[in-house]
Amino acid sequence: MERRRIGSLDVSVVGMGCNNFGTRLDEVATARVVHAALDRGVVLFDTADTYGRGQSETYLGAALRGRRDDAVIATKFGMPMDDARRGAHPDYVRRAVEDSLRRLGTDRIDLYQIHQPDPTVPIADTLGALDDLVRAGKVREIGCSNFSAAQLRAADDIAGSRGAARFASVQNQYSLLHREPETGVLAECERTGTGFLPYYPLANGLLTGKYHRGEAPPPGTRLADPKRAGQFTDEKLARMEALRAFAAARGRELLELAFAWLLARPVVSSVIAGATKPEQVAANASAAGWTLGAGDLEAIDAIVAPPG
């Protein structure tokens, strides 16, 4: 599989989202998915301390036992674990990393990301604590998630002025049906050489190819949950069907288009997608094999217009 860079890290262009580990998947099923990913060339595993209330990290660490050096582990901190464990204060950063290292059963985290901005803590303080972790060898690269272009710029200026570790990546929502990063974040990434990691690349499942306009969501799928009914709008379904037709006219699947479109941007380091079984891992890994041309991208913009 093709590799791209996140700072000093060499990552596969398809990454494994680990939010199903410890929730929809037990330890045995997690191991099957992790091993299937590694066998397909997927080396980036993206988790967080809050996924499964810590179980995702625990199950991922167990699955990688004996294969740790084959993987690039990315995890996150900052979202509430409970009333005491939350945020980006330096004291908590130091506690959170030790907790994640213990659950993962490893001596280093390859990419340590702040999960969301913390308005109660100056970003300079958080960056200082993260820089200490890099210098101590507990973390190789640092990143962020859900940051705006202005927040990225401010953090980069502070890190640059101090000669400290800077964010090597930002992870925000981005897909064919959610193009908001094009309003500033992607340009900031290009300016600074920051890798972009799209989450929800399949638009919460709408771009997997499982759903069809005029038909109820298949039982057991994510969008069959009544709580997610709002995502199944006529507007989104119409655009999804137009994208499906675009892919089919070229002998491809909608899933392949979702990956190929994101990877057409060099600033995208890896497309992170979850899986609950090895067959989904194989489909995601195979989807990265389509390269879109300039004409293809123009045709797609006519279906799903860029923002602004």
pLDDT at 113: 98
- Average pLDDT of adjacent 10-residue blocks, the chain of 308 residues: 97 98 97 98 98 97 97 97 94 98 98 97 98 98 98 97 97 97 98 97 90 72 66 84 96 97 98 96 94 97 93
pLDDT at 86: 94
pLDDT at 235: 86
pLDDT at 213: 73
pLDDT at 230: 66
Q: How far is CA 30 from the centre of its chain?
A: 18
Q: What are phi and psi of 159, to 5 degrees?
A: -60, -40
Contact (CB, 8 A) for 78 and 86: yes
- The CA-based dihedral angle spanning residues 292, 293, 294, 298, taken in that order and rounded to the nearest 10 degrees: -50
Domain boundaries, the chain: 3-209+255-292
Q: Which CATH superfamily is domain 3-209+255-292 in?
A: NADP-dependent oxidoreductase domain (3.20.20.100)
pTM of the model: 0.94
Catalytic residue numbers?
A: 51
